[in-house]
Structure 1
Amino acid sequence: MPGELEKLKIQAYTEADYSGSVLSEFHAYVNPSELTLAYEMEYDSAQGSGTTGSRMEFKQVKPGDLSLSFFIDGTGANGNLVDVQEQVEAFKSTTGYNGDIHRPNYLIVAWGTMEVRRCILKSASVAYKLFRPSGEPLRAVISATFTDNSDDETRVAEAQDQSPDLTHQRIFRSGDSLPMLCHQIYGNASYYPQVARINGLSSFRNIAPGTRLVFPPLEKT
């Protein structure tokens, strides 16, 4: 609804490709005040015998982490009375281990204009902050870290990697030409006959806008 505050949500799926319907959904009681995205590069630092230094050869970008905290208030101070333990269990059931698939659920984390994240839960902790005399918790903070679970093709597309030794996909647009795209990807327009053959094109001159084209690594062309 217009003007309504959008809450961060976590959706759970049982399929690795995120097909099928949403299994369950968790909505943040209060939106996080801080969200951390962490990335790590992996290098091969092997060095020769007798040397004092080594060249750091790039290997890959490791899956990134998303860390955030969820605050749950069961005092009703903001006019919305919730059961803290129920909310914690809802988070656990959505993000945690699923006996039907013998592993944690596959998750999507989405909030406003933030890039939708395909991920899985890496770690979580619950800190209870306030209690009734009976011991019932009234406030809690869930701190969670999710790790990227995108497939390789999606990660390459998100990184907009231009290396010619990776497979690329392009949507052919009006004004494009196959030689031009080959020049952009390979640095050599003369690869267009091989790319046309790989994509099953009868003519490289009459490609309909919207056609998805695959550009394989140079050694495969």
Structure 2
Amino acid sequence: MKLTKLTLTACKLDKSPISSIPPFSVMVNPEAITTTREIKYTEPFFFDSLKHFISCGEDIFDVPKIILDTTGAIPKSDWPENCNDIPQMIKALKKVVADYVGSEHESPIVNVQWGNFLEYARLESMSVNYTLFNRSGKPLRAEITLKMHLYKTLRELLASLNKQSPDLTHLVEVQVGDSLPLMCERVYKDPSLYLQVAKVNNLTNFRNLKPGSKLYFPPIVD
């Protein structure tokens, strides 16, 4: 059975692959992958010693060690495609996870896949630790650390938010008989906000809503 390798693929915001950037498969699978969920709280005040919940922070996703080795310990058949030395390997990896993509106006979203393990993430930092050089100073081995934040599309984020609070964005399905003022009354307790909601959803004919369609209701801003 062929060994399945961790592969990183550059993607667009909608998670579709960027075809012009070749995926990067590691030479040696990492020993560990770490995910961390942060919760944000207020700092205690002199009159209030309790920490109060603010929000759920971003999910942090780390690949602590990707090994690159050109000493001969790893067969060339396992080297990243079209790479003959450590600098070329690092350049290929940066292209997938860190470099600016002109057509997208930002660095890529990264598809991280290893067998059944699949996540999408944005790079926060990439560290390179060169651990071996030849006599002329050319690097022969390096260890890469990737620190990322797990990524969700806008629709995925909105769909996962608490739909009971007017302070959060809602994704609401249109029911038979619904009108935009009626939906604004349900979400905001204020039907007069229907024009703003129509604008957010690019509705040109908000009087005829299609049952089953979904509309975004953004947070109320005072």
TM-score range, shorter chain: 0.5 to 0.7
Aligned to 1:31: 29
Could you tell me which amino acid in structure 2 is paired with residue 29 of structure 1?
A: M
Structure 1: gaps spanning 5 or more residues: 171-197, 202-210
Aligned to 2:111: 108
In 2, Cα distance between equivalents of 1:62 and 1:22: 32
Deviation of 1:164 (Å): 3.6
Deviation of 1:105 (Å): 1.8
5 Å-filtered alignment, 1:85-124, equals 85-98=87-100, 100=102, 101-117=104-120, 119-124=121-126
Aligned to 2:13: 16
Deviation of 1:36 (Å): 1.1
In 2, Cα distance between equivalents of 1:19 and 1:77: 35
Q: Quick check: 2:96–2:108 contact (8 Å CA) kept in 1?
A: yes
Aligned to 1:78: 74
1:62 aligns with 2:65: no
Q: What's the TM-score, normalizing by structure 1? A: 0.64
In 1, Cα distance between equivalents of 2:17 and 2:118: 21
In 1, Cα distance between equivalents of 2:216 and 2:86: 52
Deviation of 1:102 (Å): 4.2
- Structure 1 residues 42 and 156, CA, compared in 2 at 3 Å: closer, same or farther? farther
In 2, Cα distance between equivalents of 1:42 and 1:88: 35
5 Å-filtered alignment, 1:124-203, equals 124-155=126-157, 164-165=164-165, 167=170, 200-201=210-211
In 1, Cα distance between equivalents of 2:149 and 2:56: 13
Deviation of 1:16 (Å): 2.0
Q: Secondary structure of the equivalent of 1:7?
A: coil
Could you tell me which amino acid in structure 2 is paired with residue 34 of structure 1?
A: A
- Structure 1 residues 168 and 102, CA, compared in 2 at 3 Å: closer, same or farther? closer
% identical equivalent positions: 24
In 2, Cα distance between equivalents of 1:214 and 1:20: 27
In 2, Cα distance between equivalents of 1:135 and 1:214: 59
Q: Secondary structure of the equivalent of 1:143?
A: strand
Q: Quick check: 1:9–1:28 contact (8 Å CA) kept in 2?
A: yes
Q: What's the TM-score, normalizing by structure 2? A: 0.63
Calculate the aligned-residue CA RMSD, in Å.
3.4
Q: Quick check: 1:9–1:26 contact (8 Å CA) kept in 2?
A: yes
In 2, Cα distance between equivalents of 1:153 and 1:22: 23
| Count of paired positions | 175
In 2, Cα distance between equivalents of 1:6 and 1:96: 24
Could you tell me which amino acid in structure 2 is paired with residue 92 of structure 1?
A: K
In 1, Cα distance between equivalents of 2:145 and 2:17: 28
